[in-house]
Amino acid sequence: MANVSIRVDDAVKQRAESICSELGMSLSTATNLFYKKLISYGGIPFELRVDPFYSEDNQDHLERVINNYYHGKSKPVHKKIEELEKMEE
């Protein structure tokens, strides 16, 4: 059996180990599952895409919204559930 050595951010490793533990497996077992799925799928076994939340445009928008809020240029909207349901109609 081969050994694989990879570098991973400490926080990422800890979170991954925690999830694997909850699933009743080790990080090594999860890595083996990934390799087996990679082989059977013939590629990366999940969609690779950029999360639009982290796009430069969205981050700029969020920064503007936060700055507007902190500088009193906007206020939070408070609506009752009934008002929201009417807006949906």
Q: What is the mean pLDDT of each run of 10 residues along the chain (89 residues)?
A: 94 96 96 97 91 91 93 86 86
Query: What is the C-alpha to C-alpha distance for residues 75 and 77, in angstroms, rounded to an integer?
Result: 6
Q: Which domain covers residue 19, as residue numbers?
A: 1-47
Say whether both 57 and 42 belong to one domain.
Answer: no
The count of other CB atoms within 10 Å of the CB of residue 16 is 14
Say whether both 3 and 39 belong to one domain.
Answer: yes
CATH number at residue 35: 1.10.1220
pTM: 0.55
Give the residue from 54, 51, 76, 55 showing the smallest Cα distance to 65.
76
Backbone angles phi, psi at 45, to 5 degrees: -85, 25
Say whether both 40 and 57 belong to one domain.
Answer: no
pLDDT at residue 31, as a whole number? 96
